[in-house]
Amino acid sequence: MHLLDILALRPVPASAVFLSLTRRCPLSCRHCSTNSAIGSEEHSPDLFTRLVESFTPDAHPRLVLMSGGEALLRPSLVERIATRARESGTASYVLSGMFFARDGRIPGPIKKAIDAVDHFAASVDAFHEEEVPRRAVLEVLGALRAEGKDVSVQLTGLGDDDPYLAEAVGDIRETLGDRVPVLVGLVGPVGRAAGWLGDWPEERRRVLTHRPIALPPAPCTMAAWPVVTFDGTVVACCNQDVADRGEAVPHLTLGHAARDGWPEIRERCLSRPLLRAIRAVGPQYVASMGGVPEGGGYCETCRLLSDDPRAEAVATRPVFSLLDADATRRQVAEGAAGFARRYGSARYGELVGLGR
Ligand code: SF4
């Protein structure tokens, strides 16, 4: 499964589900958005397998994405999920910081996990490179690609003008012969990076935190894929702050993997009025329609909406199901490179098509 096929699903509500298999990670990168360490939390594998067991040929997401922490600290769990998901028609993806590449080889259980998934993505950035040499990562990726594996690089820098990005893009393209797609993202002021990154210029901050400059409708494009957090709570978006609050924000909580199956989670994702309205016009627009006070920003306002019944009253208007579908249609038409440019690097967005 090529990266383009994965990104093409990104705007489609409930077409995929993220599983945060563990917060543990053997690396301690300075920009880590989840504040992961080797002693971080890790919950029962049953939480995640139970959810995947609820997929059926008639009711399943098209893709399951596994990350962490470091998902490949649980290789047998990754393999089990990928194998079971495929039985129902669901493809699989795993993202890794490739701690194992330091030794220049892939340990047996990790190779079996990588073989089991439909797409393997590796994180590369200046901070990972302090722990795992880029040369070692690219060697492993090149070998996997030569076997016919669909792989990609998730490359992260500080901005389009970051000289590290220019140098790393050139090196990756040359070393891997333009056969491997690259999704270029930018470090955001969350997790460990919040302590040193400082703030972004207004235009960049607007994109990262989805804040509109004025108040036209500004659909949230991050509320399409449910996320199963480290403890099994299922939330509606991949905003790390929402994941860390667990069940504290009712309209963004879709359930819990210990008690809910995919059919219930999918139904809540698609039909919950506030979620549909947020995807259709954005939280600040919903707040302004209902006379709800703003929370100081885009996601900040979103988190307050379920505290005020006027927001729910606005969101139940039937027009929002039409507008939700229209927003999805427009984002699908924008294409994978459009998504990559808007949420990552504008300069390097086209690299998601390499190796097609
Ligand atoms: S606007 Fe709401 S749903 Fe969208 S990313 Fe922010 S917190 Fe999540």
pLDDT in tens, the chain (356 residues): 999 999 999 999 999 999 999 999 999 998 898 999 999 999 999 999 999 999 999 999 999 999 999 999 999 999 999 999 999 999 999 999 999 998 878 999 999 999 999 999 999 999 999 999 999 999 999 999 999 999 999 999 998 999 999 999 999 999 999 999 999 998 877 888 887 776 655 555 544 444 444 468 889 989 999 999 999 999 999 888 888 887 789 999 999 999 999 999 999 999 999 999 999 999 999 999 999 988 888 899 999 999 999 999 999 999 999 999 999 999 999 888 888 887 788 899 999 999 99
User: Is residue 283 within 6 Å of ligand 1 at its C-beta?
Assistant: yes
Atom of ligand 1 nearest to the CA of 299: 6
Atom 7 of ligand 1 has which residue's CA nearest to it? 299
Atom 6 of ligand 1 has which residue's CA nearest to it? 299
Mutate which of 33, 276, 302 for ligand 1 pocket (most atoms within 8 A of beta carbon) = 302
User: Is residue 298 within 6 Å of ligand 1 at its C-beta?
Assistant: yes
Q: Which fold has domain 3-261+334-353?
A: TIM Barrel (3.20.20)
Q: Which amino acid is at 204?
A: R
259 Cα–ligand 1 center, Å? 24
Its pTM stands at 0.93
Atom 3 of ligand 1 has which residue's CA nearest to it? 223
The DSSP output letter for 286 is H
Beta bridge partners of residue 154, listed in sequence order: 123, 183
Six token digits for residue 65: 């994405």
355 Cα–ligand 1 center, Å? 32
Euclidean distance between CA atoms 151 and 193, whole angstroms: 27
User: Is residue 220 within 6 Å of ligand 1 at its C-beta?
Assistant: yes
User: Is residue 242 within 6 Å of ligand 1 at its C-beta?
Assistant: yes
- Residue in the block written with tokens 């929402």: 242
Six token digits for residue 193: 């990076």
Atom of ligand 1 nearest to the CA of 241: 7
Whole-number CA gyration radius for the chain: 20
Six token digits for residue 192: 């460990």
